[in-house]
Amino acid sequence: MTMNPTNASLSGSMQSPRSQSSQPFLSVSVTDPVKLGNGVQAYISYRVITQTNFPDYQGPEKIVIRRYSDFVWLHDRLFEKYKGIFIPPLPEKSAVEKFRFSAEFIEMRRQALDIFINRIASHHELQQSEDLRTFLQADEEAMERFRAQESGIFKKKPSDLMQIFKDVQSKVSDVVLGKEKPVEESTPEYEKMKHYIFELENHLAEAQKHAYRLVKRHRELGQSLSDFGKAVKLLGDCEGNALGKAFSELGAKSETLSIKLQKEAYQILMNFEEPLKDYVRAVQSIKATIAERANAFRRQCELAETMKLKEINLDKLTLTRSDKVAEAQHEYNELKVESEQAAQTFETIVRLMNEEMVRFQEQKTKDMGIAFHEFAKGQARLANGIADAWRSLIPKLESCSSS
């Protein structure tokens, strides 16, 4: 399943490098998962193929080998550098051990990583990133060095990120308990956005849970049909003659349908559950960005507070003609620069977030529209297939009972 990139100049990941238009393009694909290593150290490596006419890139095509932790490195670097932008989400870290190398899981992860890297490559800001270039171009040893350097520095503390969302629920109790709340924006727009994300996350989780259950029920129904078919076939063998033939036909048909249903369950998984999961991850990414915005706001406020105090102190020292005035003035000036930078950082984040929100909504509309479309078509196809299978049985049954 391919997600359509927002950037209109990208016409897809399969653009031939020969079309040397003056239009800049950056096209990436993640392919050929291969299991390397042994035992607990085993991992999957992917071929990452870049086709581009960007300056500073080795064109027209460059192939590198990357693993999941390389993608994580890129994600964390971008998150740290581009505050305010919703960094495309990564698929989850490895699942239960025995599932980790199943064909299904590997393919799902490959697709998700391909989508991840293409979203970055088609984002007008993120595609300029040096870290992206490193990721797409550096040879494997260089990549490993970069990765080893940076681990640990950018570890997020989950409690920080989640605190502001707990507040959505606990506003009243905090006031009652007299807990000191961290400084936070309180504009209507900000509140509205937080609330929207909070609600969205809950509803997505519910929809995901039920989509998963739907897949499970399809599988169970398929299994039940298969058991039914076998039991009816046994009846047929017991009977012999026309009746036996009728039973056998019905039994065989049930088993065929069972296979159909189980396949469809898998299709629903791929075509609907995954987009839904992707949506959930995107919301997580937005939450992380909101947390960054809150951090920036807090810093701005703290610096503004500190500046006020320093200003008062400076005035005091000036009045008393203290010899500490020069030092204090110097500190104050430095603080003023920091404060202006912090305000700038915060405003940038707010501006970027507003643009990103619009982009997110448009992209989500498209992606989910496609997903629903496929879902409805798949269900219709399945139902028609089932109807045809039953109809094909009728002439055979007629010939059985008339003999």
Least separation in angstroms between residue 75's CB and its own copies is: 26
**DSSP 3-state assignment of 26?**
strand
Helices 188-239 and 274-319 cross at an angle (nearest 10°) of: 160
In the complex with its own copies, the residue whose CB is nearer, 62 or 260, is 260
Cβ proximity of 226 and 251 under 8 Å: no
User: CA-to-CA distance for 181 and 162, rounded, in angstroms?
Assistant: 14
Cβ proximity of 53 and 27 under 8 Å: no
Site string for its own copies, 164-203 (x = CB under 8 A): --------------------------------x--xx--x
Question: Which H helix or E strand runs over 186?
Answer: none
Least separation in angstroms between residue 161's CB and its own copies is: 22
Residue 242 CB neighbours (<10 A): 14
User: CA-to-CA distance for 315 and 312, rounded, in angstroms?
Assistant: 5
Q: Which of 250, 269, 294, 349 binds its own copies (CB under 8 A)?
A: 250
Tokens 């791929």 locate to 270
Q: Which of 243, 270, 350, 357 binds its own copies (CB under 8 A)?
A: 243
Site for its own copies in 375-394 (CB under 8 A): 375-377, 379-381, 383-384, 386-388, 390-391, 393-394
Least separation in angstroms between residue 3's CB and its own copies is: 13
Cβ proximity of 296 and 342 under 8 Å: yes
The string of DSSP letters for 342-375 reads HHHHHHHHHHHHHHHHHHHHHHHHHHHHHHHHHH
Q: Which of 206, 315, 327, 355 binds its own copies (CB under 8 A)?
A: 206
In the complex with its own copies, the residue whose CB is nearer, 217 or 324, is 217
Site for its own copies in 351-370 (CB under 8 A): 361, 364-366, 368-370
Site residues for its own copies per CB under 8 A: 196, 199-200, 203-204, 206-207, 209-211, 213-214, 216-218, 220-221, 224-225, 227-228, 231-232, 234-235, 238-239, 241-243, 246-247, 250, 253, 361, 364-366, 368-370, 372-373, 375-377, 379-381, 383-384, 386-388, 390-391, 393-394, 397-398, 400-401
